[in-house]
Amino acid sequence: MRKWQRAGAAREARAVQDQRARRDALHLLADGLCAVCRERDDAARRWLGSFTNESNADPGVRARVRAAGGFCPAHTRRLLEDTAATWLLPRVHAEALAGCRALLAAGGGEAALGPCPACEAGDAAEERALEGVLRGLGEPEVRDSVRGGAVCLPHTAALAGRSAPQDGAALVEAASARLAGETGTGTAWLAGPDADVPVRARHQQGLEALLAAEESAQRVAVAERWEADVRRACCPLCLAGHRAARRLLRWAATTTGAGHPTREETALCPRHLHDLDSVGGPKVPALLADNAEAWRDRLARFSRQAATGRAGWRAAAERLPAEGRCRACEEERTASGRQAALLVAALSDPVRVRAYERAHGICLRHALAWDGPLPEPVAGVLAARLAWLEWEVTEALRKQDWHTRHEAKGAEMAVGRRAPTLLDGRVYAGLPAPLGSRGGHGGGVDEDVDAAMDEDVHDAMDAIDGDMDGDTDDSSDGDGEETARRPRWSSARST
């Protein structure tokens, strides 16, 4: 083939590729905000659907679940909400338990866990969607769609950082202009869509009763507050972190006049921006506007550094998506750390050691994240709870077999919904499992806990449990038989 013919063929191939990139990008952007988030969430949902219906028996898939210590809190919640996946929960927890216990025994930390398999599928789809939009960004229709808000702000920033300098500058300019208007302060565009918000908000509502009780008992001694926390059927460190974040968001959303939060005190990540929206309050629009203004500052810094040349553009592009802080995340980490320090201090008292030995104890995720060896009796209590949980999970799996249908179905059949408090307390926003699924783990709490707790807390948890249980309850057998009487410690109605 002659040189001019080869050049013509190459031009035609590039034109076909450009046309395909334009078509693919426009197809992605056609269905509303945000194309990239939607692709990510759809891929994760499809992966979980395939796992529920087919791939859960695949040895390679099970190995990935085991290496990850189960699923992330959001995707665990999605499995808990899916009535078709109820039977599968004990198997998932068995893999998570095996992976985390092996890692704990080997002295590995939380960082050694693999990625959540559903998140991994979503992240791969997110990357493909970004690349698809990026390839079509040279086309006016695609560029105008992105600049018009068809992609959320975090993904617009990611596209700007990956684009050629001219295209990236145009995206940053359009995003800055949008942030200056009313359309730039909507949570969906500012933080990106979050499919987990409704379920997460329902769990977090239970924290409101705790905060109300906390405010009415501010003069209660630290020791009494500690004892109240460890008596609850949940990880005290997860509870402290989620409670602190909720307290911050509620304070920020409702405080007016003197002492109201400054912009620096209310910088939030996408997850906590959605949680702020769920809390509601007169200050929420102003707080969203503050976070929009913080984004404008970030984009302005990006533009200034990018203007210094190609090296400056590369440095700015790497920094833009990762820049920013979240005050609520900081509150969570600080509160959990302080609760851990208080736990160590309290366990120097033999009386409180005995109280902790009868408690739920910290979750496995916090054990993996612990700095150094777990102290006693924290390690011993965790080992005992995990051994009991392992028996319950194994028993629930055994009783799923057709040949065991004549056997009585006890509280172990609800282990699928109860196990998350011991594996990863973040699943239920640091709170106990729903009442309909409580029982087991082999610990004990004082029998007068019910009488000692505030009635408002009971009412709030009852409402949440009713919402979560819905029309199905895996704590009964196929004939609707009631579960067996629960062990004494777990019959306490706690928050």
Tell me the average pLDDT across 273-292: 91
* DSSP-assigned states of every residue in 188-216: HHHH---TTHHHHHHHHHHHHHHHHHHHH
Model pLDDT, residue 210:
86
Model pLDDT, residue 380:
94
Tell me the average pLDDT across 61-71: 95
Tell me the average pLDDT across 11-27: 55
What is the chain's mean pLDDT, rounded? 81
The larger pLDDT score, comparing residue 261 to residue 266, is at: 266
What are phi and psi for residue 163, nearest 5 degrees?
Answer: -80, 170
CB neighbour burial string for 142-158, b if at least 16 within 10 angstroms, e if fewer: bbebbbebbbbbbbbbb
Model pLDDT, residue 390:
94
For residues 314 and 201, give the distance between their C-alpha atoms in angstroms, rounded to a whole number.
39
Question: Which has the minimum average pLDDT: 58-67, 88-97, 159-168?
Answer: 159-168
Tokens representing residue 272 in the block: 């906590």
Give the Cβ contact number of residue 128 at 10 Å: 16
For residues 8 and 149, give the distance between their C-alpha atoms in angstroms, rounded to a whole number.
37
Tokens representing residue 261 in the block: 């939060």
Tokens representing residue 126 in the block: 């997110």
The larger pLDDT score, comparing residue 438 to residue 350, is at: 350
For residues 192 and 185, give the distance between their C-alpha atoms in angstroms, rounded to a whole number.
12
Question: Which has the minimum average pLDDT: 4-8, 61-65, 88-92, 322-326?
Answer: 4-8
For residues 76 and 84, give the distance between their C-alpha atoms in angstroms, rounded to a whole number.
14
The sign one gets for the Cα dihedral 300, 301, 304, 310 is negative
Contact 233, 360 (CB under 8 A): yes
Question: Which has the minimum average pLDDT: 136-145, 353-362, 365-374, 465-474?
Answer: 465-474
What's the DSSP call for residue 147?
I
For residues 440 and 321, give the distance between their C-alpha atoms in angstroms, rounded to a whole number.
44
CA quadruple 155, 161, 166, 172: dihedral, nearest 10: 50
Tell me the average pLDDT across 213-221: 73
Give the Cβ contact number of residue 380 at 10 Å: 14
